[in-house]
A and B are shown apart, each in its own frame.
Chain A
Amino acid sequence: MPPLHFARREMAYFPARRLTVIARDPSVRMGGAMVRATVEIPNEDLQPGPRGWRVLVVDYDASSRILYRTVTAPPNRADGPPDDPFARASDDELLASPGFHAFNCYAIVMHTLARFEFALGRRVAWRFPGHQIKVAPHAFRDANAFYSPADEALLIGCVRPEGRPPVFGCLSHDIVAHETAHALLDGLRERYTDPSSPDQAGFHEGFADLVALLSVFALREVVARVLDPAADHLVRAEAVTAAALRQSILLALAPEFGEELSGIRGNPLRRSVTLAPEDVVPDDPEPHRRGEVLVAAVMDALLNVWVRRLRPYIRDGVLDRNRAEEEGAAAAARTLTMCIRALDYCPPTGLQFADFAGAVLTADQELHPRDEKYLFRAELQASFARYGIPCRPWDPPQEEPACDRTHFEQMQHDPDEVFRFLWENRRPLGLHENAYTKVLSVRPCVRTGADGFVLRETVAEFLQLVRLRAAELRTLGLRAPDGMSAGQEVTLYGGNTMVFDQFGRLKYNIGNSLFNAARQQARLDYLWESGFFERTAAANPFAAMHRRREMEFR
């Protein structure tokens, strides 16, 4: 028998790519130079554009009708990451290069996607049928940027104030991350754009703001800028109190520059660090202000965790700068992961902030049963409570559903099998038997805790929908709002997120039942009050939502 010969296999290319991005936006500077960061993203064989397997950058400016040719990515190597084409470019070169703008967008979208996939332990699909999202970094001349599901795209505008250099939305980390977060959230929870409550309307914006802010804070270069930039390797203890950090975040990251961009992103950063719990209007019906409450609560917890982590390192009134930066960026990254992970524990319809808060705690508890190092859950719970968001982890289901007629192996990926499970258990699970019921998704996921333990779960979501005339609402214990005609058709939504453990047992059954009269009534009353039954839905809810924020005349 001839000896076996194995061909020596070489790695096709290094698994990671490092790219220069502008850390927040070109206005944030240190020592006169733009603050840059290097982000590491999964590597791939890129086409010019850059065009990869999840993201296609198309540099087409519809306002001038010019399609720019973009630079080709440097070739991949087996022994290390490919060259970063802009690592050595000057600030002026970066600002003036459409190629850099394209790579900046590509890197931030991929980085945000990678954060979601890391947190959720699986691939995260876009909502639309295509696999690649199109990103237009200079889509039009307008202070707007939005995610358009119908066009499978993120469209980012720029403005050219007279006599001043152009202001590019695509160079703002939070704008690109914010829009990417909208797209990813829409992929994960397609019913969150339905009209439901101020909380649900505010959640899309608030969550996208959270992702954007935390992505920026998770960059060490940004944290370095926030901490006293004049200090060398030691930071004064007075500079790392919660109040001092709020102040320096404002000074460092929210300068009165780029007012042109305020239309695109509002000013979530400023609001999030200045909105005090006593300023929160309970049950504020305005979605943007509701969204700000969520952001402020999470940012408050983050700052407290950061300060607590730094306290033991203070000696003689100073602490090591590297340590302070590291802890800040790590706390932000951890908070971001917690928030994203929580999505799997959120109900598929009718989201309230209390649901999200409960989901954050439950998801984190599953993965980190002990909350020792950061005391994150304790801080978040306290902070949510301060901002008027009730917060407690989910309880396991009270009744054990039958699973002897379903195959768990099949249930991990097959919506029909999940539906069979639902049908078999429609009574113990409290479903409306005559509602239209649809399994929206089934997703197996694997997560690794900081302690090395692996958590395997299957997350399935279903939707229930009934359409009733106002006069029929009483069959569900509801009353039609005053003035609604008896023939007015009303759609009610219910549905749950079911989390199964690795043995196929239902661990959590989180949702919003069609029979929950209090919640359904609140939604109905809110929609009636806000004039929903008078209006037709906007063609693109994201473009319209951003536009409303910009105009403020309603």
Chain B
Amino acid sequence: MKPEKIAVRVYNVGFGDCFLLTFHYRTGRRRVLIDFGSTAPPAGDPPGCMTRIARDIASGGRLHAIVATHRHGDHISGFASRPGKIIAALKPEVVVQPWTEDPTAAPDGLRSAGTWEQGGEDIAHGAAVRRLLEIGRGGRAVYTHSGAPSGLEEILPGVEVFVLGPPTLAQSPSIRQERARDAAEFWQLRAFGESPRHAVRAPDLFPDAPRYRPGDAPPELRWFLARARRIRSEQQKEFVRALDHVLNNTSLILLFRAGDFSLLFPGDAQIENWSWALGQERVREMLRQVNVYKVGHHGSRNATPHSLWNLFARRSTDPCAPGRLVTLLSTRSGQHGRRGDRTEIPRRTLVETLARESDLFSTESLPKGRPWRDFEFMLQKEGGCHE
């Protein structure tokens, strides 16, 4: 069984990502939601944009799977509160997330790290993460990594889903650097996330060594003890922030391939994440053939490496070229970075290149009151056609 058509509904969530993929089979449809978050709604939109989108998704019937590429608000915030409830009620069968989210992962070992499932609101979108866990418990939660199965095989017959990223600790030394810490303490961050004030204490280093009873420290040392505790607490917060920051490097990169038609959804993957995938010839070959590219990280300057862009064989400066590469950009200008120092999102030079060498669609081009745009790709013909 193979899909005859793939439809992509690109929702305008402002600064965020939300894509609904519908695979049309002769016998029915299979729907996969890739990300559901926003940190700044489209300019001029009335409140409740995510709820309206959730209702639209619900009105289409069953939702088979959710892919949450990484735990950043602009990708998962919708799963919290009301819109999240609407999505959860659809009872998706599978929730796919990067391996870093696996709550059962052992604190040590190179394959797994696990972030902190109970993460507090102030740290890492705790409510949304809890909702994803809950949906995963109702169905099947898949935590995957580069080269591993996606978990979508049964849902999408006739479609190959390749996981190109994120690499595991063993695969990527730069992520491993992040883990060069005390395994026990790392694990405790989960509890720390619950309440910084009740952080679990690290085990005693020298159980047999003489020590002062708690509260009995000599007066001359108390000043320093208070300082040391403050430094520790700052470090823990910094560590949580640092890992959160590096999560762009642990974003899922999925490549869907049906016959000779392929779509690439790299979430917010940045250069370190890509470098593992781009280092493998087999992957490079697959990337050359991509028909649809979801532009990484809302068009930031470092999520579409030149080495990736230059691989795409279907790029063309001829707007009428058959089978020309389609690029989908979900973004909202003026939210991050500054043009003066070339950090603005979306980056001007990237957008210009996308527009010149591909069929670019940006959510910013949608008129007010049109919350989405649909793309349809027929799979009978080589290369497919769209909309």
**A residues adjacent to B (C-beta < 8 A):** 58, 60-69, 96-99, 134, 136, 138-144, 148, 151, 153, 155, 158-163, 166, 259-260, 262-263, 483, 531, 534, 543, 547, 550-553
Contacts and interface: CB of A to CB of B under 8 A. Distances in A.
B202 interface: yes
Contacts of B341: 483, 531, 534
A143 B205 contact: no
Given A160-B185, A161-B182, A543-B235, 19 more contacts: A58-B225, A60-B221, A62-B225, A63-B232, A67-B211, A67-B212, A68-B206, A68-B209, A68-B210, A69-B209, A97-B209, A99-B209, A140-B235, A141-B182, A142-B182, A153-B224, A155-B228, A162-B183, A551-B246
Contacts of B174: 551-553
A142 B239 CA distance: 10
B162 to A, nearest CB: 25
A163 B107 CA distance: 11
A67 B174 CA distance: 35
6 closest cross-chain pairs (CB), A and B: A162-B108, A62-B232, A63-B202, A141-B182, A263-B180, A141-B185
Q: Which of the listed residues A98, A159, A163, A553 has the most CB atoms from chain B within 10 Å of its own CB?
A: A553
Contacts of B340: 483
B214 A553 contact: no
A64 B224 contact: no
A402 B133 CA distance: 78
20 contacts: A58-B225, A60-B217, A60-B224, A62-B231, A63-B232, A64-B203, A69-B211, A141-B202, A142-B181, A144-B235, A151-B231, A158-B205, A160-B184, A162-B108, A162-B109, A259-B180, A263-B177, A263-B181, A553-B177, A553-B246
Contacts of A550: 177, 180
B225 A159 contact: no
A61 B231 contact: no
Nearest to A144: B235
Contacts of A134: 224
B229 A553 contact: no
Nearest to B173: A552
B107 A98 contact: no
A384 B254 CA distance: 50
B201 interface: yes
Contact of B225 (A60, A148, A259): A60
A64 B231 contact: no
B327 interface: no
A65 B201 contact: yes
B242 interface: yes
B268 interface: no
Contact of B106 (A140, A162, A260, A531): A162
A136 B183 CA distance: 21
Given A67-B217, A547-B242, A551-B178, A60 B183 contact: no
Contacts of B217: 60, 67
B204 interface: yes
Given A134-B224, A155-B228, A550-B177, A64 B108 contact: no
Nearest to A528: B341
A310 to B, nearest CB: 38
A554 to B, nearest CB: 10
A66 B228 CA distance: 11
A258 to B, nearest CB: 10
B249 interface: yes
A522 to B, nearest CB: 19
Contacts of B246: 551, 553
Interface in B210-236: 210-212, 214, 217, 221, 224-225, 227-229, 231-232, 235
